[in-house]
Amino acid sequence: MRILVTGGAGFIGSHLIDRLMAENHEVLCLDNFYTGHKHNILKWLSSPNFDLLRHDITEPIRLEVDQIYHLACPASPIHYQYNPIKTAKISFLGTMNMLGLAKRVKARILLASTSEVYGDPDVHPQAEEYWGNVNPIGIRSCYDEGKRVAETLAFDYHRQNDVQIRVARIFNTYGPRMLENDGRVVSNFVVQALRHQSLTVYGDGSQTRSFCYVSDLVDGLIRLMNGEHTGPINLGNPDEYTILQLAKTVLQMVNPDLTIEFKPLPQDDPRRRRPDITRAQSFLGWQPTVPLQEGLKLTVEDFHARVSREACAPKSSSAASTLGS
């Protein structure tokens, strides 16, 4: 099968490509390298079943494919808030271009949506029937509302043009190849601990998140793409932890002698986040299998190698602020 992965050089996209290549598909990786990195897909560059396309999805493109995994969009607060207008354009124009491509070539398209469509939820845990509590004019709205309109476009293309869509609402995902400076809580806690810095917790640390290891997520995406259910379907780990619990877990694993520094909570930071995965379990036969301790161990090992290389380099940089997202 000929499969296009937008954002394929990114964290989740590159792990997805690893799986698709292992299954002997013909894979096209499309990325503009805003947050993706070539080294994530370096091992596939010489394969006859792999092609790399440097392209911005806000511009149309003509290809012949059977399936489209549409992952392209900056997903961390630091990156999507850096250029919020561009973020909104990626969610709207980029998604419209990919849906137009799917319509023309009759490909099935999976939209990587997000738990951020639920905003700061009044319902807990969050099920797909919940419409969300999103601030439409806040600093996070370029991403939150961008993904909500992306879902709208997907379902309108499905209803009006009979495009085969699949919509995944992805909750917090972590693992090797995360960016060191992306503002996400797992990566920044690990990087701060490895650099012997205090761990930065915003608020009192009582806000909760659920953390899904990347291999579990990729399995869910593939099952959704090849299943019979349109979605939206939540993909995430229902085990819920406070940010403070996560900080203490990372400290115990990396450096128990470090301290925790508390700072004010960022604007519109969700208080609680936990997926209801009943649909995923029922429709896809899917649920996470990698426990947090095991996934963190693999993530720490990956970051340790990168931080060690950085320590040997002539320059140094500090970890980005942890936004708890």
- CA dist 17 and 28 (Å) reads 9
178-210+239-273+290-312 has the same fold as 2-173+212-235: no
pLDDT at 313: 60
For the entire predicted model, the pTM comes to 0.91
Question: Domain ranges in the chain?
Answer: 2-173+212-235, 178-210+239-273+290-312
pLDDT at 318: 39
Q: Is the pLDDT of residue 273 over 80?
A: yes
Picking from 161, 169, 181, the residue whose alpha carbon sits closest to that of residue 130 is 169
Which superfamily does CATH assign the domain made up of 2-173+212-235 to?
NAD(P)-binding Rossmann-like Domain (3.40.50.720)
Instruction: Give the chain's mean pLDDT.
Output: 92
Phi, psi of 138 (to 5 degrees): -85, 180
Among candidate residues 80, 118, 143, 241, the one labeled active-site is 143
**Rounded mean pLDDT of 15-26?**
98
- Per-state percent for the chain, helix, strand, coil, to nearest 5: 40, 20, 40
CA angle 316, 199, 134 (to 5 degrees): 105
CATH dotted code for 178-210+239-273+290-312? 3.90.25.10
Q: How confident is the model at residue 310 (pLDDT cuts 50, 70, 90)?
A: low
State pLDDT tens for residues 112-149.
Answer: 999 999 998 999 999 999 999 999 999 999 999 999 99
Q: Give Cα 170 to chain centroid, integer Å.
A: 7
Cβ(31)–Cβ(49) below 8 Å: no
Residue 143 annotated among the catalytic residues of the structure: yes
- CA dist 224 and 242 (Å) reads 29
Burial class (CB in 10 A: 0-12, 13-18, 19+), 76: buried
State pLDDT tens for residues 236-245.
Answer: 999 999 999 9
Judged by average pLDDT, the poorest of 28-32, 82-86, 162-166 is 82-86
Q: Is the pLDDT of residue 315 over 70?
A: no
